Amino acid sequence: MNKMSKNKAEENLDTVISQIEQARLKVSAHHIVSLVAISKYNTSEDIKNLYFAGQRAFGENKVQDLKTKMQELESLPIAWHFVGHLQKNKISALIELEPYLFHGLDSLELAFELNKKLENKNKNMACLLQVNSSYEKSKSGFSPKHCLDAYRNIEKNCPRIQLQGLMCIGANSKNKDEIKKSFLLTKKFYEETKKEFNAKICSMGMSNDFQEAIECGSNMIRIGSALFKEFKEFK
């Protein structure tokens, strides 16, 4: 293992954790936030550095990459998340990998197909419903208007899917108020799913907006670049 990038991993992790701490204390001393390290642009060696600095949850956005890294890091007790858009022809492969949590359930068609394949394999999968709360065409997810009905539909008709809550990607904007608006909208629907279905997870916030996301009620953030930055320079 490269010693310099190991130090960098510890430094990045410390920085992110203290920023999480500041933001979550603005909400409440009891507000707990989980940190998922998104390693999609990084090697298994990078992941190991962050793992030995203390990080345990990692996420990928391509099924094949998830598979490769899970195999390479098989000996480590990592909780693997899948945060990408799931193509229909990759559903079976993802099921086989038994991810800890799939964040991107973004259509009813996908939900029904996933449920059917889970049924055939006699497995379950913990999932989050993705909400396109910034109304951006480039993003997948349910429109805010339809997300609660979709949630109820999946709860009722897809017993193999264990919905845990909602996920969104913040508005692609430099305007913090725009970004917060998209987070607050997701939070509003998350509160509904919490009341109705005892949902537990509101996954929102990335490297550039996680403090705002936490202040808006996020309890799971997905951080890539802020955790892995400058690893490369030390190699």
Ligand X SMILES: *Cc1c(COP(=O)(O)O)cnc(C)c1O
Note the residues at the interface with ligand X (CB under 6 A): 38, 40, 61, 83, 169, 206-208, 222-226
Provide the minimum distance between the beta carbon of 156 and ligand X in the complex, in angstroms, as a whole number. Answer: 27
Smallest separation, CB 139 to ligand X (Å):
10
b/e map of 66-105 (b: 16 or more CB within 10 Å)? Answer: bbebbeebeeeebebbbbbbbeeebbeebbebebbbbbbb
Minimum CB distance to ligand X, residue 73 (Å) = 19
CA atoms within 13 A on the CB side of 8: 19
Task: Specify whether the CB–CB gap between 93 and 62 falls below 8 A.
Answer: no
Shortest gap between Cβ of 85 and ligand X (angstroms)? 9
State in angstroms the smallest separation of the CB of 214 from ligand X. Answer: 14
Output the residue with the shortest Cβ distance to ligand X.
224
Closer CB to ligand X, 175 or 198, in the complex: 175
**Which lies closer to ligand X via its Cβ, residue 83 or residue 95?**
83
Q: Which is nearer to ligand X, 79 or 123 (CB)?
A: 79
Query: Among residues 107 and 153, whose Cβ is nearest to ligand X?
Result: 107
Measured from the CB atom, the residue of 160 and 222 that comes closer to ligand X is 222
